[in-house]
A and B are shown apart, each in its own frame.
Chain A
Amino acid sequence: MRTTEPPRADPPSSATLPTRQSMLLRLAAEGATGALLRDTGTLYLRDGQVSHAESSAAPGVDVLLTAGGRLPRAVWDEAAARTGRHRRTGLGRYLVTEGLLTPGELEICLLTALHDAALFALAPGGGPTRFRHGVAHGLHAARPVPAAAVEQEARRRRRLLDDVWPGPAMDTAPLVRRPVPPGSSVPVRHRALLDLADGHSTPADLARRLGRPLFHVLLEVRRLATAGLLAPPRPPPPGPAAGADDVPPRDSPAPSWAAEGFVPPDTALLLRVRAALEAL
């Protein structure tokens, strides 16, 4: 089950595994049980496999289930309170035995939340990694996921985002919708998202309100920007005010589409090179 084969066709930035990833794989190889803590999130290991993940950035299972109306918030809170005295042991089982949720839907939610949170927990630059042996979480996947598969999926997701629209400029900015071209139509799922793009809400706000994984919203936002239905990110402010993470201003005259804030592909390449250098 547990394989440590190197990922196929990865860009150089992830070919060299940083220490934190090695730590996860090392713990997995040891068959460790406990919590892998980083600033950006926590992975729970059970016998060397990832059984659950949490991140403050990503909506938890509770949000996935309550925001869209699958479970009333009060029902979840009561279930959590009833099972909470022992670190929420058996919350999942409680929801199923009380007939509030089927095992299938719970499992789908848990796996979805696991990979969503893992993306942020394993993010480059997520701070130092600590491991607390023996710590368990009351919610856990019926079939835990091999650590290597979790890492591989997180890398694939980062690539996927950059393939659709390079750069993280839209990930945290308020979203502004653009008019739908006459004659075209918008699918229901996109409409739900666009209706909330009010110029104030960020992708994280939308994920919480819709009860969708944050990665899904980030990806859909970039796809909608590509389709012209969301305003592209604003160009970074010029001059020394720009933060260290911002794209440096270019001296060459900007092409017309740059005025709309489209990040040129060569910038993405530069960012990848920088990420690769930082990962060394």
Chain B
Amino acid sequence: MSDIDMSLYEVMALPGARGAALVDWTCGLALGSAGESPRGQPEAAAVEAAELARCSVEYGTFRPPEDDGPDGAGREPDGAGREPGGTGRVPGGTGFEPGSGSAGLGGDGPRRTGGTGVEDLIVTTRTAYHVLRFVETGHDSSLFLHLWLDRDAGNLAVARIRLKETARRLVLG
């Protein structure tokens, strides 16, 4: 059984869930999907949701100031941190906990792998919510969970909590 599929089924168990997908926002590929797709086109939905997610990550407006460089212009504070043997990772200890080891999904420095600064996005329409939850992995990746939720039957607050838990469990087990 695929773990990605299990995570998506977990999200689909939410009341009012219509569709869910795990999407790579750099390239717009859905690594997995469950339920319906908006307009019946899963590929197009993944591409479009990925563009929205990418904009939110790449525009400085939505980025916490501490995730910026010293002058906000991307000068390298510890630019070699990602290189093998660099100082940005945690070579001590076991050395292979994912960056999102703490429940807060944040606060462990801007260099955490896969960290985007943005935690989730919510798009509200007359009939639905779309919740995009960024997934932080221990390796370098650019993933988010996309939940399409019926607005009448769904509970946005519960959905956000479930997505956060699912995103964490997908990576941490």
The chain B residue sitting closest to A144, CB to CB, is B2
Is A38's CB within 8 Å of the partner chain B? no
With A104-B4, A216-B142 in contact, do A67 and B84 touch (Cβ < 8 Å)?
A: yes
Q: Is the CB of A219 within 8 A of B115?
A: no
When the two chains form their complex, are residues A111 and B31 in contact, meaning their CB atoms are under 8 A apart? yes
Interface size on B, residues (CB 8 A): 57
Q: How close is B68's CB to chain A, nearest CB, in angstroms?
A: 5
Interface window among B74-82, B123-131, B157-165: B74-82
B43 CB contacts on chain A under 8 angstroms: 156
Bound Cα distance A263, B3 (Å):
43
Do residues A70 and B98 form an inter-chain contact, with CB atoms below 8 A?
A: yes
In the complex, B5 has a CB within 8 A of chain A: yes
Residue of B nearest to A207 (CB): B140
In contact, A70 and B138 (Cβ under 8 angstroms): yes
Give the contacting residue for B140; candidates A111, A194, A212; CB below 8 A.
A212
Bound complex: CA of A153 vs CA of B3, how far in Å?
22
8 A Cβ contacts from B47-89 to A: 57-58, 60, 63, 67-69, 72-76, 79-84, 89
B2 near A68 with CB under 8 A, answer no
Q: How far is the CB of B121 from chain A (nearest CB, A)?
A: 15
Cβ–Cβ contact B28 & A160, under 8 A: yes
A127 proximal to B (CB < 8 A): no
Q: Given A69-B89, A185-B68, A209-B84, answer yes or no on A191-B79 (Cβ-Cβ < 8 Å).
A: yes
Is A68's CB under 8 angstroms from B140's CB?
A: yes
Q: What distance in Å separates the Cβ of B69 from its nearest Cβ neighbour in chain A?
A: 7
Which of A69, A143, A157, A160 lies in contact with B96, CB distance below 8 A?
A: A69
- Enumerate chain B residues within 8 angstroms of A210, measured Cβ to Cβ: 82, 140
Asked whether any CB of chain B lies closer than 8 Å to the CB of A5, the reply is: no
Residues in A whose Cβ lies below 8 Å from that of B153:
none
A219 to chain B, nearest CB (A): 6
Give the docked Cα–Cα distance between A100 and B89 (Å).
17
Number of interface residues of A (CB under 8 A): 51
SS of B interface (majority): loop
Pair A143/B73 contact, Cβ less than 8 Å: no
- Is B173 at the interface (CB under 8 A from chain A)? yes
Smallest beta-carbon distance A238→chain B, Å: 35
Task: Determine the main DSSP class of A at the interface with B.
Answer: helix
Contacts of B90 in A (CB 8 A): 69
C-alpha spacing A216/B142, complex, angstroms: 10
A100-115 CB mask vs B (1 if < 8 Å, else 0) is: 1011110111011001
Q: How far is the CA of A70 from the CA of B28 in the complex (A)?
A: 24
The reply to whether A71 and B96 contact each other, CB–CB distance below 8 Å, is yes
Proximity string of chain B (91-123) to chain A, C-beta cutoff 8 Å, 1 when within and 0 when not: 100011010000000000011010111000000
A234–B116 Cα distance when bound, in Å, is 32
- Is B27 within 8 A of A65, CB to CB? no
Bound state CA distance, A160 and B84, in angstroms?
30
**A85 at interface (Cβ–Cβ under 8 A)?**
no
Candidates B4, B27, B79, B84; contact of A157 at CB < 8 Å? B27
- Closest chain A CB from B51 CB (angstroms): 11
Q: What B residues does A215 contact at CB under 8 A?
A: 27
- Chain A 112-130 interface 0/1 with B at a Cβ cutoff of 8 Å (1 = within): 1001000000000000000
B interface list, Cβ under 8 A from A: 1-5, 7, 22, 24, 26-29, 31-32, 43, 57-58, 60, 63, 67-69, 72-76, 79-84, 89-91, 95-96, 98, 110-111, 113, 115-117, 137-143, 169-173
29 contacts between A and B (CB under 8 A): A65-B139, A67-B84, A68-B140, A69-B90, A69-B95, A69-B138, A105-B138, A105-B171, A107-B2, A108-B141, A143-B4, A157-B27, A160-B27, A182-B73, A183-B73, A185-B60, A185-B69, A185-B72, A185-B73, A186-B69, A186-B73, A187-B57, A187-B63, A187-B67, A188-B111, A190-B74, A191-B76, A195-B80, A219-B26
Chain A interface (Cβ < 8 Å from any Cβ of B): 64-73, 75, 100, 102-105, 107-109, 111-112, 115, 142-143, 153, 156-157, 160, 180, 182-192, 194-196, 209-212, 215-216, 219-220
